[in-house]
Amino acid sequence: MKEQRPVPRADTEAAHEPRSYLIVFATAAGLAMLAAALAADAAGLDALRRVTSHFDPRWLVICVGGQMAGYIGYVLALRHIARVDGGPHLSLGLSARTVAAGFGVHGAGHVSGGSAVDYWALRRAGLEREQAIARVTCLGTLEWAVLAPAALVSAIVLLAAGTHIEASVTWPWLLVIPGLLAALWVTSPRRRDRLADSSTGGRIRSGFAHVVAGLVMVRLLVTQPQKHLPALLGGVFFCLGDMACLWAALKAFSVDISLPALVLAYATGSVASRRSLPAGGAGVVEVLMTFALVWVGIPLAPAVAGVLLHRLVSFWSPIVPALALLPHGARLRREVEASEGAASTPRAR
């Protein structure tokens, strides 16, 4: 009787990989449609019909242009942060493919969002696991290093001007001040090495160490702006590009919004980075961004229409061209998992 050889684990995982992406992607699409349906029902179909009747497609040019600027900014940030402290040099092509895959089908079809693709690319480039996680955390934290101060200033401006907006969207941003002080404390040279050490303790301690390691890297970027200008500009372009897309999406439905209100609503609606949220934050971002706009004074129906158009351009549209990059992300993942599996296998004596 002929002996049957076991199917290699890598081949088995590769066969099931498209199915897992399809399940997560279908779940993301379902959540997004559910959120859109609930928001539309709350706004009223008649009100939405009146708002969409004023749709001006010319604003789509700015929507798409803002997203392109954001992608270029993320590529700049990824390439430069990878090189911090003697890290690897990612080619422009690899960086662009990684960013496109993370904001495309991998972002919508993976439980770790697009940040997983960043991690795989950094590991494949030669970084150790802890180094790659620190850089991925830094990329996500850099976005908040840009948004949080801007939101704080916007909240102060709106409060000082006596603008009638919900207190729940202004006063919480004052927590940025103690948050900044806490970040400075944990990243102090006297204690950062100890706090960023993930080799001891359980999952909570390890997760905290990874956050501290990412904050340490952000502090390095901010305190040496001339040396790390590409990463800082990349983070700014990424935030401004997506914010410009939201502004243009609102203008497409004849919605006027002040700059402080736009910044405050965008930062509140982006309370978690869409790059790192599971399945790209489908269903979550739509709800948060809509209510954030309502809290700063935008009527519900125009807010729903603007947010849905923004998400169509920024999240769902890139999925179609990014399908061509699905093998790229899958290949990165398999190579990293194979190397990690080989490293964890004890050598025979």
Indicate whether 343 belongs to any domain: no
Q: What is the DSSP letter of 346?
A: P
How many residues make up the chain in this entry?
A: 349
Give the pLDDT means over successive 10-residue stretches in the chain (349 positions).
43 49 67 79 86 93 95 94 92 86 58 73 89 92 92 93 85 93 95 87 88 94 93 95 96 95 93 62 80 93 93 79 58 60 46
> Within a domain: residue 3?
no
Instruction: Give residue 100's domain range.
Output: 29-335
The answer to the question of residue 183 being in a domain is yes
- Type of residue found at 69: A
Does residue 346 lie in a domain region?
no
CB count, 10 Å around CB of 295?
20
Contact 35, 304 (CB under 8 A): no
Q: Does residue 348 lie within any of the structural domains?
A: no
Q: CA-CA distance, 69 to 64, in Å (whole number)?
A: 9
Q: Give the pLDDT confidence score for residue 178 in this predicted structure.
A: 96
Q: How many domains does the chain have?
A: 1
CA dist 251 and 41 (Å) reads 22
The 8-class DSSP code of residue 315 comes to I
Q: Is residue 18 part of a domain?
A: no
**What does the pLDDT read at residue 306?**
95
What pLDDT, on a 0 to 100 scale, did the predictor assign at position 24? 63
Domain-embedded: residue 13: no
The CA distance from 263 to 243, in Å, is 8
Whether residue 10 lies inside any domain: the answer is no
